[in-house]
A and B are shown apart, each in its own frame.
Chain A
Amino acid sequence: MLPLRETQRAFAEAIVEGKYHAATVAMAADGGALRSVALYRRLIRNNYRQALMITYPVLLRFVGGRYFDILARGYLTAHPSISGDLFFYGQSLPTFFDKVQVAPLLVELARLEWACHEVYQAANSPPLSQDQLQALASGDPSQVTFHVHPASRLLSFPVPVHRVWQTLQPDASADVVVELPLPEEETGVVVTRGDGKVRVTPLAMADYLLLKAMARGVDAVSVERMAIESEPDFDFARFMTTVLSLHVIAGLSVEQGV
């Protein structure tokens, strides 16, 4: 009698590596062992594929089902699932794409879709309170740092890949066309959530870089200085209004007694 752990390992070996011997020996000799393992392999692979399809609906529409399946099989081999929660299964798809050198546009699209996937369910955070805004207006701005909302992601791309994302939404008509190639144009986007829906908003590069600085914990005075250094007539009030309207900032910290 195989110990339970050995039985589970033998089954895993059959599923992952196609080494059926140990697992089939542990199964009843009713002639169906090989068929059973093959069936489980198929069911399990389908679970992973379905998880990727849910996480990457735009990528699926972009490349089509057949190529998506090939990518999904390759991904499974390189990045097996390590969590009982399939929400995380596609986390390394952009890294995998990068490594196997698929078209760079697909890498960027996967990065954007993973960010959308995370933001959709990320933790809630209340909007900035009146008191916090007051602290920003009246306090010493060199002591103010910002907390980025957990349901927001800042990303930059060598091409405006968000246009593909916007065009190929799952509810778009079947005959929609994406104009390619995209122009070489470095683009920053912020992924946020509003009314339960994920939004992808392109940002001017200066805005994107300042938001990145804020996310890194750079204080308000330094952020403003960076802005003016990048563009002498930078409209900082306009920038802050944009940031607040996008709900990218969830809180402020004000250093005391420094």
Chain B
Amino acid sequence: MSVHYPAPIPAQAGIGLRSHHFREILDTPPSVAWMETHPENYFGGGGAPLRVLERIRSQYPLSFHGVGLSLGSTDPIDHAHLGKLKVLIDRFEPAFVSEHLSWSSVGGRSFNDLLPLPYTPESLDHICARIDEVQTVLMRPLLIENITRYLTWQDSTIPEGAFMAEAVKRTGCGILLDINNVYVNAVNFGLDPLDFLNAIPARAVQEMHLAGFDRFGRMLIDTHGQPVCQEVWGLYRWAIHHFGPRPTLIEWDTNLPPLAMLVEQATQSDAILKECHVAAS
């Protein structure tokens, strides 16, 4: 496989690009190091979204965070979808391209949500073959993100962290480490988040995500609709000291606040990243 290694994003905070903020970002470009977007929002091939993305790309490094590939599905990979992604990657040259360690479709029906895989040897073989297939088409390494889950499969025999580490070892993919997801899973299932984090190979972690959650009964739901909570900031600080400074995204998809709020959260993230730089020097 011929691999394209893009220019790196600095180990600073970035924000998610949402159409709600297009005008404000173009009029007053915020002081953040980079931006991330869902490539599916630009699959139409024209119009305002692509025009805005071109202008953003001329000012900021970009990262593509896919949500529609259904990487873990047992249906064939949707090559039309993958083809559109490749066209966008070739055009915008994002520093990172990421997808989720999850599935979202079976039998031709799509659930358009991130569903958990059972962590079994069969799933591991399957997801590794799929990551290989995608990386071969895209001709670049993919980052895979740990998801939140609201169930536990009885057949899971491999701890999630070890599952991801083995996928990295077999495919050469990287990891997008979502700290909020680690926290939400730990609370919902009474786990120690450090068990998961300690199993993750530091060199594989290329990017981190921070987000907020909502409470639904006894469960925390990863809605990306609230500020990052104190406990997640704490876990993030631990992760940055453990893995080293990494590009970190403030992810906010629902209940969108003014852009200034995202920038404020990014500033908090930058302060923690700076702490780590100082401690290391």
Which A residues lie at the B interface, using CB under 8 A?
1-5, 7-9, 11-12, 15-16, 25-30, 32-33, 35-37, 39-40, 43-44, 47-48, 51, 80-87, 89, 118-125, 150-151, 193, 196-197
Which B residues lie at the A interface, using CB under 8 A?
40, 42-51, 67-70, 73-74, 78, 81, 103-113, 115, 117-118, 120, 122-123, 126, 150-156, 216-217, 219, 221
Q: Choose from A29, A30, A81 the contact partner of B111 (Cβ within 8 Å).
A: A81
* Contact, CB under 8 Å: A86 / B40: yes
Question: CA A146 – CA B110 in complex, angstroms?
Answer: 38
Residues of A within 8 A of B217 (CB): 35
Taking the closest CB of chain B, its distance from the CB of A80, in whole angstroms, is 5
Residue of A whose beta carbon sits closest to that of B190:
A30
Q: Choose from A1, A11, A122, A197 the contact partner of B155 (Cβ within 8 Å).
A: A1
Name 13 interchain pairs, CB-CB below 8 A, sorted by A. Answer: A4-B123, A7-B153, A11-B115, A27-B152, A27-B154, A30-B152, A39-B150, A47-B112, A81-B109, A81-B111, A83-B78, A124-B47, A151-B46
The SS class assigned to the A binding surface is helix
Question: CA A123 – CA B111 in complex, angstroms?
Answer: 27
Residues of A within 8 A of B122 (CB): 3-4
* Contact, CB under 8 Å: B47 / A33: no
Question: CA A121 – CA B41 in complex, angstroms?
Answer: 9
Question: CA A12 – CA B111 in complex, angstroms?
Answer: 8
Residues of A within 8 A of B123 (CB): 4
Provided the pairs A8-B73, A48-B112 are in contact, do residues A123 and B105 lie with their beta carbons within 8 angstroms?
no
Residue of A whose beta carbon sits closest to that of B188:
A32
Taking the closest CB of chain A, its distance from the CB of B274, in whole angstroms, is 36
Residues of A within 8 A of B51 (CB): 196
Residues of A within 8 A of B49 (CB): 121
* Contact, CB under 8 Å: A120 / B44: yes
Taking the closest CB of chain A, its distance from the CB of B260, in whole angstroms, is 21
* Contact, CB under 8 Å: A84 / B47: no
Given contacts A4-B122, A26-B155, 4 further A-B contacts (CB under 8 A): A12-B109, A84-B69, A85-B81, A89-B112
Residues of B within 8 A of A84 (CB): 40, 67-70, 78, 81, 104-105, 110, 112
Residues of A within 8 A of B69 (CB): 84
* Contact, CB under 8 Å: A150 / B152: no
* Contact, CB under 8 Å: A43 / B113: yes
* Contact, CB under 8 Å: A87 / B43: yes
Question: CA A85 – CA B44 in complex, angstroms?
Answer: 11
Residues of A within 8 A of B151 (CB): 27-28, 32-33, 36-37, 40
* Contact, CB under 8 Å: A27 / B153: yes
* Contact, CB under 8 Å: A121 / B46: yes
Residues of A within 8 A of B104 (CB): 84
Q: Choose from A36, A87, A193 the contact partner of B40 (Cβ within 8 Å).
A: A87
